[in-house]
Amino acid sequence: MTEGARDLARASVLLDLKRYDEVASLLARIVAAEPEHSRAWCLLAAAHLGAGRYEEAAAAAGRAVTLAPFDDWPYQLASSAQRHLGKITEAISLAEEACRLATDEWMAYICLAQAKLTRKADLPAAERAAVTALRLAPHEPDAHYTAGRVSYAQGKWKAARAHQERALALDPAHSGALNELGWISLRRGGFPRAAWHFTLAARSAPGDSAYGENAEIPVARVLVGVWLAVLMASVALPIALLIHVPRGPAVLGYTLAIALATGYGTVQLWRMPPETRRLLRGHRAGRVLGALYGAGLIEVISVAMTPARALRPVAIGYATAFAFVLIALIITITALLVSRAIRRR
């Protein structure tokens, strides 16, 4: 085996280990010495893709296409790079060429399905490509993962879950499938289960920060639910007093609503992984939630200390002013928190 062949073999091993910077450094030396080596350019493009350097990946893959125009792999790599750069038309064209060159290569159809998946109008074509990939490689986890993503985009939740679960059965550490199951659970309102899926995905791929960020979303959704419940109860209390509901039952109802909201949030957060519960300590969410409960406590104390005559019709203007100032405060705090806490897909 020549030295160049040994370096390529080593680069392939490092690429499998996801040591992308080392691969790129090694391959840069190889292509400098052998600029006509198409496989080296392909491996370099794959390393740049893994590291998220999509401009460099597109350039390396483009060079490989020029050197090996009848090989499908350079087209697959170029398509992936263009898709990440947002150049969907180019990505689809390159993926279609890869499928034309290798009609029995399942990865070419995966590449085409992923490119088509970015446009809603192309979802039927994405489904056909994913079905072809499954037919060619029924035991490949990536084929089921891609088919699951297509089903999710089409609103076929059961099919999406089935595909991702099959991908995990084939590869229990498949971070993409775990992440997709998190989104499916989140859509169905299973916040603790979604948090577990996102956290397991982050553990499987610690180098991908997106999975860790996704784990924050179920926490935010639970807290938003608690905030909205506290908000509605805080709005209902002064209104109940204004329409002459007795003070005792009104405060009791308010306290019960707050207790139920707190219990719901506590149970949901307790069922989540420890990593997600610790987010409350490092983020502003916990502090703002405390401020919201503090505002509610001030409201109850204010109501309890307000003389009964102040809530009679003759004093309705003062009570209304108090209520609306308090409501505005709560809404402002909640709006600020929601805008920072919720991340949409």
Q: Inform me whether the pLDDT recorded for 311 exceeds 70.
A: no
Q: Residue 200's CB: how many other CB atoms inside 10 A?
A: 22
Which tens digit of pLDDT belongs to each residue from 192-236? 999 999 999 988 888 777 887 888 888 888 877 887 777 777 777
Which tens digit of pLDDT belongs to each residue from 114-151? 999 988 888 999 999 999 999 999 999 999 999 999 99
Give me the pLDDT at residue 257, please.
81
CB 342 within 8 A of CB 213: no
Gap between the terminal Cα atoms of the chain? 48
What is d(CA 339, CA 331) in angstroms, rounded to the nearest whole number? 12
CB 94 within 8 A of CB 82: yes
Q: What is the DSSP track for 220-242?
A: HHHHHHHHHHHHHHHHHHHHHHH
What is d(CA 63, CA 44) in angstroms, rounded to the nearest whole number? 10
Long-range (24+ apart) CB contacts under 8 A made by 54-61 are 54/81, 54/84, 54/85, 55/85, 57/81, 57/84, 58/82, 58/85
What is d(CA 61, CA 42) in angstroms, rounded to the nearest whole number? 6
Q: Where are the domains of the chain?
A: 3-163, 217-341
Q: Which two tokens stand for residue 343?
A: 């991340």
CB 143 within 8 A of CB 133: yes
Question: 277 or 304: which carries more pLDDT confidence?
Answer: 277
| Residue 303 CB-density burial (10 A; 0-12 exposed, 13-18 middle, 19+ buried) | buried
Among the listed ranges 23-32, 77-86, 127-136, which one has the minimum average pLDDT value?
23-32
Confidence grade of residue 168 (pLDDT, cut at 50, 70, 90): very high
Crossing angle of helices 247-270 and 216-242, rounded to 10°: 180
What is d(CA 148, CA 130) in angstroms, rounded to the nearest whole number? 9
Question: Residue 101's closest CA among 127, 69, 63?
Answer: 69
Q: What are phi and psi of 23, to 5 degrees?
A: -60, -45
Among the listed ranges 129-138, 181-190, 325-334, which one has the minimum average pLDDT value?
325-334
Which tens digit of pLDDT belongs to each residue from 31-69? 888 899 999 999 999 999 988 899 999 999 999 999 999
Give me the pLDDT at residue 215, please.
85
Q: Is 128 helix (H, G, I), strand (E, B) or coil?
A: helix
What is d(CA 305, CA 166) in angstroms, rounded to the nearest whole number? 61
Give me the pLDDT at residue 11, please.
84
pTM recorded for the entire structure? 0.78
CATH pick for 3-163 out of 3.40.50.150, 1.25.40.10, 1.10.287.1400, 3.40.1390.10: 1.25.40.10
- Mean pLDDT, residues 4-26 taken together: 84
Among the listed ranges 12-21, 25-34, 229-238, 298-307, which one has the minimum average pLDDT value?
298-307
Among the listed ranges 25-39, 231-245, 316-330, which one has the minimum average pLDDT value?
316-330
Give me the pLDDT at residue 339, please.
47
